[in-house]
Structure 1
Amino acid sequence: MATLGAGSDIGGGVDAAVTAAWQDLRMTATSPSQRYCVVALLAPLEVGDRVARSAWPAHVTLASNFLAEASTAELVEILREVPLADEPLTFRVGDVAMFGSQHDIAVRLVESPRANHLHALLTDRLEHLAGFAADEPAYWRGGFRPHLTLGPAVRAVDGEIMRSTRVGIARIQGAEAELVGAVSLG
């Protein structure tokens, strides 16, 4: 059986779009060191949607950026294995904080015992993936702080209650993020 590498000709008559799609699938399905995050979606976003990271729709981070050598199917299966709940996730908006290595990312901390519990369940599974590495290990497990990242399209006020009916996995590629899987709640 022949294997295909980048630039392989799989028969001369094959349409270039099919070849490009195959190469993209081959690269993203099991490519080592893909960067992901897990979020509770608060705004409409469909699987396959790509957004500029600077303009992310409203979401609460449940597992911050990590690297893993996993297929999209493996990651979605982890979401399905975690007992997310039979009801939407509810968050109470709290204080403003600054995240990031340069403390230049404005967030609102959110209060949600369920978000903390889900983070623990997710990390138990995600940390066992091949090639797993958290971008900021200090903010996993005991250092985790569920938060709503603020931006031009995301506003929240102290005490506001927000609800999420979907949890998603986003693949982060440079300045973009793509929703690669999602699971409905309740």
Structure 2
Amino acid sequence: MPRIVVVIPLEPLRSGTRFAVREWPLHVTVVPPFSTHASVDDVARLIAETSSAVAPFEVTAGHGALFGRRHDIPVTLVEDDDRLTHLHDVLLGALAPLASSGDRVFQPGPYRPHVTAKGERRATEGDVLRLSQIALVDMAPRSSPGGREVLATIELTEHRG
């Protein structure tokens, strides 16, 4: 059973890309890691359907903070943005039925979007971050122990009326 996370990378990713934990591309997590019995195709299709009305948009990087149990993981918070919060909420609602029972990711709680620093790579306060793609990432791929693998990507597209 895969354990997956749904992120918005700050630079586009490609399906099949693998990377070590310390080399995570900079991203904003939209749905925290959860386990599912659903196929990757079913999860990706549901994400694509749920986000089909969302066009690419920009958010602004806020101030730094420390996350984690020991408050030792440097992050840059993302300033409040209704579009990002809405995307988070609708994806949580859509994906909850696919999650393994007892997965706490889908219990109500505050959403604090942020970009985790990776070494010297980080978002800086005031940076404008363009969000244009959603990526589904396997947190523990069998083919890459200790790493991560991009399972699918979904492009946010401009809508013309």
Task: Confirm or deny a common fold (TM above 0.5).
Answer: yes
Aligned to 1:7: none
Identity fraction in percent: 33
Aligned to 1:165: 132
Q: Give the drift of 1:153.
A: 5.2
TM-score, scaled to structure 2? 0.84
Aligned to 1:144: 111
Name the SS for the 1:54 alignment partner: helix
Larger radius of gyration: 1
Cα distance in 1 for residues equivalent to 2:101 and 2:78: 26
Cα distance in 2 for residues equivalent to 1:48 and 1:172: 13
Cα distance in 1 for residues equivalent to 2:47 and 2:116: 22
Cα distance in 2 for residues equivalent to 1:155 and 1:67: 28
Deviations 1:68-117 (A, max 9, x none): 12211011011112135452131110121222223232111102221111
In the alignment, residue 77 of structure 1 is paired with which amino acid?
R
Deviations 1:121-179 (A, max 9, x none): 01101111151554x64x96432111111112522211111102211110101631111
CA contact (8 A) 1:40 1:60 kept: yes
Count of residue correspondences? 152
TM-score, scaled to structure 1? 0.73
Higher relative contact order (CA closer than 8 Å, sequence separation 6+): 2
**C-alpha distance 100-69 of structure 1, shift in aligned 2 (>3 A):** farther
CA contact (8 A) 1:119 1:141 kept: no
Cα distance in 2 for residues equivalent to 1:71 and 1:45: 20
Aligned to 1:74: 42
In the alignment, residue 151 of structure 1 is paired with which amino acid?
K
CA contact (8 A) 2:15 2:152 kept: yes
Cα distance in 2 for residues equivalent to 1:105 and 1:133: 26
Cα distance in 2 for residues equivalent to 1:41 and 1:140: 24
Q: Which has the higher helix share?
A: 1
Cα distance in 1 for residues equivalent to 2:52 and 2:124: 26
